[in-house]
Amino acid sequence: MKKGRGRTSRIRRRKLGSSQSRGVNESYKPEFIALKKWLKARKFEDTNLIPACFPDTGRGLMSKTSLQEGQLIISLPESCLLTTDTVLRSRLGPYIARWQPPPSPLLALCTFLVAERHAGDRSPWKPYLEVLPKAYTCAVCLEPDVVALLPRPLAEAAREQRMRVRELFTSSRGCFSSLQPLLSAAAKSVFSYRAFRWAWCTVNTRAVYMARGRRQGLSAEPDTCALAPFLDLLNHSPAVQVDAAFNEESRCYEVRTGSGCRRHQEVFICYGAHDSRRLLLEYGFVPRASPHACVPVPPDMLVKYLPSADKQMNKKIAILKDHDLIENLTFGWDGPSWRLLTALRLLCLEPAEFLCWKKVLLGEIVSDVNEKKSLDIAQKICCYLTEEASAMLQKVSHMKEKEMAGTHQLTLVETLWTEELKILRASAETMSSVQRLFASPRCPARCHPLCGCDT
């Protein structure tokens, strides 16, 4: 019997499949039946994908058959897409066209979503609106107490996002009230901040990229978002490649798989090479064990463990700035990034070595002393960030116990810190093994990339 083809391995494989990715079919649900009927009426041809709920990723799309590399998996006719043309051609169009200053494409889409949701049964988009999430978890929706638990730069970005959405809402109030003749309730209550934020999150987390020219009646801001019913049930995986674009010939938005997919597995697309913090900020989720995940080092941490008396420090910092090496310095699953290590090597140069700074920027190792010092500093920074992550996790756990904020939001933050802690521990481990090599007087096995071995 061939290895891995026996009964035991089949059972093991089945168990793996069920715990990791097997989804529960949701296509029987009334909202999906209605959506399918609506799509069919708009000439959408049935696909091999069905809505399902997955243990790790929640609601997504499952393949009924195995998919080949390069296969067309969705082809959504233009009539199913919700774009600014949909808005301008709708009953809202003549009102929006009179707004001064002209609204951005984003504002037009958000306004349409709020008005159509309010229209309920009267909206031709009802079957689509019915399957949209009722609530979101991207940063703008997080409670202030939860935002305060995020890593500092992310908390700042979250507050900035909140301010931006608030500002867009406040500055558009006059425009919303002009829609009163179309509404069956007071414009103020229909266009509440909550309703507007829901619409903003819908566009931000679900729209596909579809660049179009400027439309009359709208501002000059880029018009790049289209809502794509059904297609927007696809979840993100950094591991897949897809080809997705509007096909001018077929007039359909098409998605082709770049990698195959087994029957009954979740089908993913890739939203971009985003790290976990960005995914939380923009999409409201944190993937587990993502290969793109990393922990950024705040620029002020770089010099925290270096002697303040270093007379060349200002020059070194200026060089790092000139060469764009002061930001995007990270720890990853396999240790400090090349950028981080290069920045530290430069900062750790002894006065006599300073003339070699160009070599450092080219990736050369100047001396064992410099290499060891850089690694020691990297380890200290990693240790500091590890302690910070552990302390934050304790805080989150305390808040969960005392029910001081929404459990779902707290769990999201907890997942982020837990993932970062895992990365930092993996990084520390890699650095320790290299440091051990440096500790031995002769180092016959200096073959790790961090060793700088050039054989």
Helix runs in 216-337, H state only: 276-283, 313-322
Half-sphere exposure of 282 (CA within 13 A, CB side): 15
Residues 258-287 that bind ligand SAM (CB under 6 A): 283-285, 287
Taking the least distance from each CB to ligand SAM, the nearer of 215 and 264 is 264
3-class state of residue 267 by DSSP: strand
Beta bridge partners of 59: 53
Site string for ligand SAM, 41-60 (x = CB under 6 A): ----------------xxxx
The beta-carbon contacts of 187-192 under 8 Å, at least 24 apart in sequence, are: 190/114, 190/115, 190/118, 191/111, 191/114
* 233 interacts with ligand SAM by CB under 6 A: yes
3-class state of residue 228 by DSSP: coil
Taking the least distance from each CB to ligand SAM, the nearer of 55 and 70 is 55
User: Hunting for tokens 């944190």 — which residue is that?
Assistant: 286
Closest listed residue to residue 232, CA positions, set 255, 213, 258: 255
Distance CA 421, CA 27 (A): 38
**Min CB(230)–ligand SAM separation in Å:** 10
User: 25, exposed or middle or buried, with CB in 10 Å at 0-12, 13-18, 19+?
Assistant: middle
Among 93, 133, 217, 298, binds ligand SAM (CB under 6 A): 133
Distances in Å between the Cα of 353 and the Cα atoms of 189, 306, 321, 322 are 68, 16, 20, 20
**Min CB(162)–ligand SAM separation in Å:** 17
C-alpha torsion 227→228→234→236, nearest 10? -40
User: 327, exposed or middle or buried, with CB in 10 Å at 0-12, 13-18, 19+?
Assistant: middle
**Min CB(232)–ligand SAM separation in Å:** 4
Q: Which region among 92-100, 153-161, 231-239, 389-397 touches ligand SAM (by CB under 6 A)?
A: 231-239
- Whether residue 409 contacts residue 451, with contact meaning beta carbons closer than 8 Å, is answered with no
Taking the least distance from each CB to ligand SAM, the nearer of 232 and 414 is 232
**Min CB(110)–ligand SAM separation in Å:** 16
- Whether residue 50 contacts residue 64, with contact meaning beta carbons closer than 8 Å, is answered with yes
Q: Which region among 116-124, 168-176, 230-238, 301-309 touches ligand SAM (by CB under 6 A)?
A: 230-238
H-helix or E-strand spanning residue 49: strand 49-54
Distance CA 212, CA 187 (A): 30
Taking the least distance from each CB to ligand SAM, the nearer of 31 and 350 is 31
**Min CB(61)–ligand SAM separation in Å:** 8
Taking the least distance from each CB to ligand SAM, the nearer of 154 and 233 is 233
**Min CB(151)–ligand SAM separation in Å:** 19
Q: How many residues at the interface with ligand SAM, by CB under 6 A?
A: 17
Closest listed residue to residue 326, CA positions, set 293, 361, 359, 354: 361
Among 36, 117, 118, 236, binds ligand SAM (CB under 6 A): 236
User: Hunting for tokens 């270093």 — which residue is that?
Assistant: 310
* 82 interacts with ligand SAM by CB under 6 A: no
Taking the least distance from each CB to ligand SAM, the nearer of 149 and 269 is 269
Site string for ligand SAM, 181-220 (x = CB under 6 A): ------------------------xx--------------
Taking the least distance from each CB to ligand SAM, the nearer of 57 and 312 is 57
User: Hunting for tokens 């309010």 — which residue is that?
Assistant: 118
**Min CB(392)–ligand SAM separation in Å:** 21
Q: Which region among 3-11, 86-94, 228-236, 440-448 touches ligand SAM (by CB under 6 A)?
A: 228-236
Distances in Å between the Cα of 273 and the Cα atoms of 102, 232, 238, 270, 278 are 33, 18, 7, 8, 10
User: Hunting for tokens 């696809």 — which residue is that?
Assistant: 234
- Whether residue 157 contacts residue 281, with contact meaning beta carbons closer than 8 Å, is answered with yes
* 293 interacts with ligand SAM by CB under 6 A: no
**Min CB(106)–ligand SAM separation in Å:** 17
Site string for ligand SAM, 89-108 (x = CB under 6 A): --------------------
Q: Which region among 7-15, 84-92, 229-237, 355-363 touches ligand SAM (by CB under 6 A)?
A: 229-237
**Min CB(53)–ligand SAM separation in Å:** 9
Residues 381-440 that bind ligand SAM (CB under 6 A): none
**Min CB(271)–ligand SAM separation in Å:** 7
- Whether residue 97 contacts residue 187, with contact meaning beta carbons closer than 8 Å, is answered with no
**Min CB(339)–ligand SAM separation in Å:** 27
**Min CB(380)–ligand SAM separation in Å:** 34
Taking the least distance from each CB to ligand SAM, the nearer of 205 and 370 is 205
Residues that bind ligand SAM (CB under 6 A): 57-60, 133, 205-206, 232-237, 283-285, 287
